[in-house]
């Protein structure tokens, strides 16, 4: 009620009200001098309302479907941010103006405006798309989280292409089960306006989505991508093979629809080869010629906090956002391929989040790293000791495990131990610039902490 009164004071000409709350409507109408309009299941209608509002502000782009934008929606447990930025970077390299909407912000990749959610609320989504279109941008890569699909934050948005990167354990504190989590992701591919589905054949969940498309009689163009040992003869398969991973990046053969080329990109890890394929598939779906699309991938660069290197002398230091079991396993596996020496891993688990993944991440770190340092990672309102105990319970042996709650000290300790040829992974926070403890938020950036520690150790 107080929000409605304040809105009227600030110039609102009407209030739209959820009809299921009709016992409040009479009181609300008495307090206001503007119309109160009841709508059943208002949350499901907000997308259409927002689209109608922003589509009638008088500008030519607003009147067009999707504000005149070609939209790529990216969902999956891991890789959404990387694929969205790879896509935007590659398209912009071809002079096709492309923006992103996601975890790191909204807008052109080099001029991002900060965001608070991976996918904003539905009203903000439409305002953002409208504003992007007014800037003369033609393409948008949007991260679409499971929360956003479940809460209908992208209603009224017509995606041209939908990408699945993968599905692994995450957000069970919200969804409850992996089945419910997967069902939320699947919604993106059942939208009536969708033109092309891009699916990761290396991930088993893609097969479930393909079955859902058949059951729901969705006549979609589908492009599947995978990393393989050999070339494919299947016309709708985009395949990378003969891949080589070096400290300078990735080089691989790629084939699609009887066309062949070589991908060269300055990024690390096998999973980033998969992300490059997802990017390439989306470009092909939007009509970019195969040779041009492949060539543009040489222009992509590491996304902040995703396999991001910190300059070190004699060994490799990488900061990555990996905060799920699957992501941690992928990153450690990728980095193992870049060294014949030790892998040192620093990680923790967030408080007030899925507790079940804590011992799983410990098992993965123990198996894939030579030295493991467990530390705090946004404990929030949970007791850091309790979080640590649940992580440590997942280790089979703890003789190579170091516990250090102070994250800055943990990072410094890892760097002190590093020797020539080693790889140090600082996992969990990536691009984040704060550490949250109880009701206190402190400035903290893994990349800055690592750089500072390296500088001090070299002095």
Helix extents (H) in 94-230: 122-134, 146-150, 172-175, 178-186, 205-215
Helices first, then strands: H and E counts in the chain: 17, 20
Confidence band for 22, pLDDT divided at 50, 70 and 90: low
Distance of CA 409 to the CA centre of its chain: 28
Contact 293, 284 (CB under 8 A): yes
Residue 445 CB partners (closer than 8 Å, separation 6+) = 429, 432, 433
From-to residues of CATH 3.40.1190.10 in the chain? 61-299
Q: Which CATH architecture has domain 308-458?
A: Alpha-Beta Complex (3.90)
Q: What is the pLDDT of residues 65-90, one digit of tens each?
A: 789 999 999 999 889 999 999 999 99
Strand residue runs (E) in 66-212: 70-75, 98-102, 105-107, 139-143, 161-164, 196-200
Q: Check pLDDT > 60 for residue 171.
A: no
Asked if residue 390 lies in contact with residue 355, where contact means CB atoms within 8 angstroms, the answer is yes
d(CA 401, CA 372): 5
pLDDT on residue 247: 75
Contacts of residue 219, Cβ cutoff 8 Å, sequence gap at least 6: none
pLDDT tier at 305 (50, 70, 90 boundaries)? very high
Query: Which tokens is 174 given?
Result: 């919200």
Question: Kindly report the CA angle at 137 between 134 and 139, in degrees rounded to 5?
Answer: 130
Q: Tell me the pLDDT tens digit for each residue of 380-400.
A: 999 999 999 999 999 999 887
CA distance 54 to 61: 10
Which residue is it, tokens 């470009």?
Answer: 283
- Mean pLDDT of all residues in the chain? 92
Q: How confident is the model at residue 14, as a pLDDT? A: 92
Q: CATH 3.90.190.20 region(s) of the chain?
A: 308-458
User: How many Cα atoms are found within 13 Å in the side-chain-facing hemisphere of 77?
Assistant: 23
Strands 371-374 and 401-403: parallel
- pTM value? 0.85
- pLDDT of 220-279, one tens digit each? 899 999 999 888 767 789 999 999 988 788 999 999 999 999 999 999 988 999 999 999
CA distance 116 to 257: 40
Instruction: Give which of 315, 335, 301, 297 is closest to 453, Cα–Cα.
Output: 315
Task: Look at the domain 61-299 and name its fold.
Answer: 3.40.1190
pLDDT band, very low/low/confident/very high, at 338 (cuts 50, 70, 90): confident
CA 258 vs. chain centroid, Å, equals 31
What tens digit of pLDDT does each residue of 101-114 get? 999 999 999 999 99
Pairing of strands 98-102, 139-143: parallel
């Amino acid at each position: 009620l107080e929000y409605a009164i304040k809105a009227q004071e600030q110039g609102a000409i009407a209030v739209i009200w959820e009809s299921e709350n009709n016992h409040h409507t009479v009181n609300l109408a008495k307090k206001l001098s503007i119309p109160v309009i009841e709508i059943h299941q208002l949350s499901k209608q907000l997308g259409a309302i927002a689209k109608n509002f922003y589509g009638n502000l008088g500008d030519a782009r607003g009147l067009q479907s999707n504000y005149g934008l070609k939209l790529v929606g990216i969902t999956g447990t891991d890789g959404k941010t990387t694929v969205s930025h790879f896509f935007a970077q590659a398209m912009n390299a071809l002079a096709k103006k492309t923006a992103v909407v996601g975890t790191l912000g909204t807008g052109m990749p080099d001029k991002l405006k900060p965001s608070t959610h991976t996918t904003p609320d539905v009203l903000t989504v439409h305002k953002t798309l409208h504003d992007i279109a007014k800037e003369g941008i033609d393409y948008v890569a949007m991260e679409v989280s499971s929360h956003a699909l479940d809460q209908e934050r992208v209603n009224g948005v017509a995606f041209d292409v939908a990408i699945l990167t993968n599905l692994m354990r995450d957000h069970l504190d919200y969804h409850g089960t992996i089945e419910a989590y997967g069902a939320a992701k699947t919604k993106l591919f059942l939208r009536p306006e969708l033109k092309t589905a891009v699916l990761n054949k290396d991930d088993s969940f893609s097969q479930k989505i393909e079955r859902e498309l058949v059951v729901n009689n969705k006549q979609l163009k589908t492009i599947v991508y995978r990393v393989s040992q050999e070339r494919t003869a299947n016309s709708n398969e985009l395949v990378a093979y003969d891949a080589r991973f070096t400290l300078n990046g990735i080089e691989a053969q790629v084939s699609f629809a009887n066309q062949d080329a070589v991908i060269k990109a300055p990024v690390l890890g096998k999973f980033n080869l998969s992300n490059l394929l997802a990017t390439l598939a989306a470009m092909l779906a939007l009509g970019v010629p195969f040779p041009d699309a492949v060539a543009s991938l040489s222009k992509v660069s590491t996304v902040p906090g995703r396999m991001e290197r910190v300059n070190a002398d004699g060994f490799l230091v990488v900061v990555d956002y990996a905060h799920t079991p699957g992501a941690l396993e992928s990153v450690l596996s990728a980095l193992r391929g870049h060294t014949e020496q030790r892998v040192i891993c620093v990680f923790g688990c967030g408080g007030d989040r899925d507790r079940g993944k804590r011992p799983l991440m410990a098992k993965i770190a123990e198996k894939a790293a030579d030295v493991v340092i467990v530390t705090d990672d946004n404990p929030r309102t949970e007791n850091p000791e309790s979080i640590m105990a649940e992580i440590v319970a997942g280790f089979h042996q703890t003789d190579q495990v170091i516990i250090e709650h102070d994250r800055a000290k943990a990072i410094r300790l890892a760097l002190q131990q590093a020797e020539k040829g080693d790889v140090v992974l600082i996992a969990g926070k990536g691009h984040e610039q704060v550490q949250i403890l109880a009701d206190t938020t402190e400035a903290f950036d893994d990349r800055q902490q690592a750089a500072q520690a390296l500088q001090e150790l070299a002095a």
